[in-house]
Chain A
Amino acid sequence: MEINLVSAILVLPLLGLIPVVFAGGKDRDDIVRWGAFIASLVTFVVSLGLLFGFDVSDPGLQFVEIFDWIPNLGISYYVGVDGLSILLVLLTAFIMPLAILSSFSAITERIKLYYAFMLILETAMLGVFVAQDLFLFYIFWEVTLVPMYFLIGIWGAENRIYAAIKFFLYTMAGSILMLLAILWLGINGGTFALPELIEQGINYAAFGPATEALLFFAFAIAFAIKVPLWPLHSWLPDAHVQAPTAGSVILAGILLKMGTYGFVRFNLPLFPEASRQYAPLIATLAVIGIIYAAWVSYAQKDMKKLVAYSSVSHLGFVMLGIFALTAQGVQGGILQMINHGLSTGGLFLMVGMLYERRHTKLMSAFGGIWKAMPIYGGLSLIIVLSSMGLPGLNGFVGEFTILMGALGSNVLAMGFAVFAATGVILAAIYLLTMFQKVFMGPLEKEENKALADLNWREIAVLVPIVILLFVIGLYPAPFFGLMDTAVGHLLAQMGQVLTVGR
């Protein structure tokens, strides 16, 4: 029997649960940590097999596995990757080992439970990106909620319970309407398999004038809360600030991408007419988010909060790109998902490493850190510059492509790109201000003088990220190449339905 690679990466993290749950003896803690790390690392290595076996000229699904799961209701286990999802799968598999590695010293309590949740979370997130059956997708989508809730609630900071509950309720409130919409599609489309639903197309007009719009919003609200799109973002700063470092990294790096990915994967092809009609609305919210969150970011005293709001701002760009509904926009949006995962994940790691040493995240507690921790300073600078969108690093490529896409859009006016561009400038202001306050200036405070620079483990966590920042920044062509045909196919599908509909 041939093993399907996609199914393999879903199972591998769960296999890691075996050493984690059954570890015992005096080396118990080490077995748990390394067991979890190795499981996630093996998952990453196997996921590279997807990359090498991927046929870029094929716009459809690859590595498909499908079998009946609940035949009574037409629900199947249906997974596969295509150009829209492969980068996100790789990103998830790439970030998880780093997040686990970064937790070795930060998490000292109840570590079995911690790593068990991390591994379950990995499977669920990968599942979200590869599921092609709406029901299966919803299951993975909701399952991500539970481990993340515990990660924040048990290992978080002082206000963790409030943040955990807020996270749980917000996300669940969004997704339950999506469940109804999924049911509606399953009943009226006769199948829960996404490719077939798109293929056959549903004539929504036959069910009443507002049907497509209602369904569009049932999905959109679930995804918009996850992204988060302004004004649904208020859970995010709380969750980020209270979560443990690895939790924030995963939240920013991967979980938020589930929202933006959802728009690309479901909203655009399933509801082409509504997507087109409401693109200006969504883009408006995105641009408001870009500017508003950037301003709020600037006003923060806490580094983690600053990075959290910067996340809202950056994801506004992704949303703008997607709803430009042009090839460039969507491609830029997908690439920017990856970029944001790397650079914001990196920023959170950075803040976490400082927090482990000083137990504060307030910028005013620092100053002149570079002198005490030169390696840390150097790596941090690169990550900050990447997040700002400096040419030569990855952030620039993504934002530039998105703005180009938005300018060339048929559905969005030019003003969207113009206003969004100010977000780039604002990002430079708040990020450089932060960098200046923390790293530059004289090293005055006594407790900062004795700070130890990064150890080998921390360097091993940051360096792979920094390398990728350069690779994408200097040579983005292969990344675009991976998604080129799939994005083209997606937009062609939309266009076809639109012309037929008219």
Chain B
Amino acid sequence: MDVPTIESLNLIAALPTMIVAVGAGVILLIELFLPKEERHWLAILSVVVIAVGLWLTFWDGGRTDAFGGMYVADGFTRFVNIVALGTAFFAILMAYDYNRRRGITRAEFYPLLLFSTSGAMLMGAAGDLVIVFIALELLSIPLYIMTGIRRDDPIAQESALKYFLLGAFASAFLIYGIALTYGVIGSTSLDAVLGAVTSQGLTGNPLLLLGAGLMIVGLGFKVAAVPFHMWTPDVYQGAPTPVTAFMSVAAKVGGFGALLRVLVGAFQDLAGAPRAGGWSLTVWAVAAATMILGNLVALAQRDIKRMLAYSSIAHAGYILMAVIAAGEGVEAGAGAALFYLMAYMFTNLGAFAIVVAVEKDDGSGTDLDSFAGVGRSNLWLGLAMALFMLSLTGIPPLVGFFGKFYIFKAAIDAGLVWLAVIGAVTSVISAFYYVRVIVKMFLEEGTGEAKVPWALALAIGMLALGVLITGLLPAGALDMAEGVILALAP
């Protein structure tokens, strides 16, 4: 075996991810020398790191590998990077004032957020199953800590513990799946798996199928797919709201990034037609159950963070539809999934930003009734929330609609008409609970109020514009999404 040289590692390709991780470490060090009252600089530095990461991301488009193929830099990576970095940016804007209000003073907050972001980015760039696992842990462990960062709050502690235990369990599934795959193929490289399945005719291999199944469990947990979704509502409710916002998108971006890399990039030939066995049948059932259960249970929620938790489960179902389409060989499938994640980033972060604005200093005020009358006392905030809710429902011309449109298109293209019908019908169900928020804000009498400091206002404004602009003019983002074609067999 050749000893790799620095040149052959091709570090440049992995620069965006590395900058974010290294930046997090540097900020952690700076914090040591920073007096307590100067800590807002940590947030500012984090934003700078994100900006540099974004700038590097836009640098190059073609596929190059780093670390001998363990890290893949291509259009897919680039898209995942943009969404992950965007999520981190908006989460920082939300946390900036929120942390002060709620007394979250621990300086590790921002570095943890950046570490987690780099984990999500790395998941999308994984060219090797080992990287998938490492990236998953890099994404998750900071999330566990951030969830419980309010150590005096028993609910937050319960959430963190629950998240950690179930998360560790899911990691075990993933690593077992990786081990089985390695056992059959003799390599953990995704390209090698893809090549071996075809060349050695392993499409029906039970061990390989089991391995893929276990990995679906592990990653399905991260993206909150039914039946691995149990943690979601409790963790979403217990975590500080900006952390919830961050995790709702970042964990999905990372999870789906890896899921697509593994299922489509390595196990595509194991997909099988929807009714012919293979993983696509399993994912079909998971997607259907996720859409149905997520949307139905969301109907019954009285707390907006729990409602958004079930809504996030439901949206995972829609994205899974695109994953199957990609597995069935529809090239637009992966792009549709990523486009949807971007739409979800704008919309869901926007919704959580409004929750941050309405939430009170003691952490109460996340029940739906607290939103009554907010549209009257603060018209623009109300309109922004209406925009986000309608986008989550999928009303044109907002970006959420376009995301669904693109996914349904990929699904119908792949012959998944019935899954698309389930998606369509559950979208109508979702209208009921999303619209209820608008009803509360505008149509019901109430004394709900909101605090909107400048950073939060900036976040809400940018997100609302994002929802509108990428909805009306999606061509640019679509171009990028269409550049996303997962690696085919070498």
A interface vs B, CB < 8 Å?
A: 69-73, 113, 135, 138-139, 142-143, 145-146, 149-150, 153-154, 160-161, 164-165, 168-169, 172-173, 176-177, 179-180, 183-184, 186-187
- Can you give 12 A-B contacts (C-beta < 8 A)? A70-B474, A72-B482, A139-B396, A146-B390, A172-B427, A179-B424, A180-B412, A180-B420, A183-B405, A183-B408, A184-B412, A184-B417
In angstroms, Cα B411 to Cα A187, docked, is 11
In angstroms, Cα B401 to Cα A164, docked, is 21
Report yes or no: B409 in contact with A72, Cβ–Cβ below 8 A. Answer: no
Report yes or no: B396 in contact with A138, Cβ–Cβ below 8 A. Answer: yes
In angstroms, Cα B336 to Cα A183, docked, is 14
Interface assignment of B395: CB less than 8 Å from any CB of chain A:
yes
In angstroms, Cα B302 to Cα A6, docked, is 46
Can you list the 7 inter-chain pairs with the closest CB atoms, starting with the nearest? Answer: A139-B396, A176-B424, A72-B478, A173-B428, A153-B443, A142-B396, A161-B443
For A146, give its contact among B395, B424, B425, B444 (CB under 8 Å): B395
Among A72, A113, A184, chain B packs the most CB atoms within 10 A around the CB of: A72
Interface assignment of B52: CB less than 8 Å from any CB of chain A:
no
Residue of B with least CB distance to A174: B428
For B409, give its contact among A154, A161, A168, A183 (CB under 8 Å): A183
* Given A71-B475, A161-B439; A113-B396 close (CB under 8 Å): no
In angstroms, Cα B404 to Cα A138, docked, is 13
Report yes or no: B475 in contact with A176, Cβ–Cβ below 8 A. Answer: no
Residues of A close to B192: CB separation below 8 A: none
Report yes or no: B432 in contact with A165, Cβ–Cβ below 8 A. Answer: yes
Residues of A close to B405: CB separation below 8 A: 135, 179, 183
In angstroms, Cα B483 to Cα A72, docked, is 11
Q: Say which size band chain B's interface belongs to.
A: 20 to 34
Report yes or no: B413 in contact with A153, Cβ–Cβ below 8 A. Answer: no
Binary contact track B460-490/A, C-beta < 8 Å → 1, others 0? 0000000000000011001100100000000
In angstroms, Cα B431 to Cα A72, docked, is 28
Residues of B close to A70: CB separation below 8 A: 474-475, 478
For A186, give its contact among B396, B409, B432, B439 (CB under 8 Å): B409
Interface assignment of B173: CB less than 8 Å from any CB of chain A:
no
Q: How far does the Cβ of A307 sit from chain B's closest Cβ, in whole Å?
A: 24
Residues of B close to A135: CB separation below 8 A: 405
Residues of A close to B432: CB separation below 8 A: 165, 169
For A180, give its contact among B393, B397, B408, B431 (CB under 8 Å): B408
* Given A69-B475, A183-B412; A177-B442 close (CB under 8 Å): no
For B444, give its contact among A143, A161, A184 (CB under 8 Å): A161
Interface assignment of B300: CB less than 8 Å from any CB of chain A:
no
Report yes or no: A72 in contact with B439, Cβ–Cβ below 8 A. Answer: no
Residues of B close to A173: CB separation below 8 A: 428
Interface assignment of B30: CB less than 8 Å from any CB of chain A:
no
Residues of A close to B417: CB separation below 8 A: 180, 184
Interface assignment of B207: CB less than 8 Å from any CB of chain A:
no
Residues of B close to A160: CB separation below 8 A: 443
Interface assignment of B458: CB less than 8 Å from any CB of chain A:
no
Q: How far does the Cβ of A68 sit from chain B's closest Cβ, in whole Å?
A: 8
Interface assignment of B285: CB less than 8 Å from any CB of chain A:
no
Contact residues of B between 368 and 418, Cβ < 8 Å to A:
379, 390, 393, 395-397, 401, 405-406, 408-409, 412-413, 417
Residues of A close to B436: CB separation below 8 A: 165
Residue of A with least CB distance to B387: A146
Interface assignment of B421: CB less than 8 Å from any CB of chain A:
yes
Report yes or no: B428 in contact with A164, Cβ–Cβ below 8 A. Answer: no
Residues of B close to A177: CB separation below 8 A: 421, 424
For A145, give its contact among B395, B425, B428, B442 (CB under 8 Å): B395
Residues of B close to A161: CB separation below 8 A: 439, 443-444
Among A168, A169, A183, chain B packs the most CB atoms within 10 A around the CB of: A183
For B431, give its contact among A71, A113, A168 (CB under 8 Å): A168
Residues of B close to A143: CB separation below 8 A: 395-397
Interface assignment of B168: CB less than 8 Å from any CB of chain A:
no
For A113, give its contact among B379, B395, B421, B425 (CB under 8 Å): B379
Residues of B close to A183: CB separation below 8 A: 405, 408-409, 412, 420
In angstroms, Cα B383 to Cα A146, docked, is 12
In angstroms, Cα B405 to Cα A73, docked, is 11
Interface assignment of B281: CB less than 8 Å from any CB of chain A:
no
Interface assignment of B15: CB less than 8 Å from any CB of chain A:
no
Residues of B close to A186: CB separation below 8 A: 409
Report yes or no: B424 in contact with A180, Cβ–Cβ below 8 A. Answer: yes
In angstroms, Cα B439 to Cα A113, docked, is 15
Q: How far does the Cβ of A119 sit from chain B's closest Cβ, in whole Å?
A: 15
In angstroms, Cα B443 to Cα A184, docked, is 37
Residue of B with least CB distance to A164: B443
In angstroms, Cα B424 to Cα A142, docked, is 14
In angstroms, Cα B472 to Cα A69, docked, is 9
Residue of A with least CB distance to B376: A110
Interface assignment of B435: CB less than 8 Å from any CB of chain A:
yes
Residue of A with least CB distance to B471: A139
Report yes or no: B428 in contact with A142, Cβ–Cβ below 8 A. Answer: no
* Given A143-B396, A153-B442; A172-B409 close (CB under 8 Å): no
Residues of B close to A165: CB separation below 8 A: 432, 435-436, 439
Report yes or no: A187 in contact with B413, Cβ–Cβ below 8 A. Answer: yes
Q: A173-B428, A179-B424 given; name 4 further pairs at CB < 8 Å.
A: A70-B475, A135-B405, A139-B396, A142-B395
Residue of A with least CB distance to B474: A70
In angstroms, Cα B401 to Cα A142, docked, is 10
Residues of B close to A73: CB separation below 8 A: 406, 409, 478
Residues of A close to B390: CB separation below 8 A: 146
In angstroms, Cα B412 to Cα A142, docked, is 21
Report yes or no: A172 in contact with B431, Cβ–Cβ below 8 A. Answer: yes
Binary contact track B327-349/A, C-beta < 8 Å → 1, others 0? 00000000000000000000000
In angstroms, Cα B406 to Cα A135, docked, is 12
* Given A70-B475, A180-B420, A187-B413; A154-B442 close (CB under 8 Å): yes
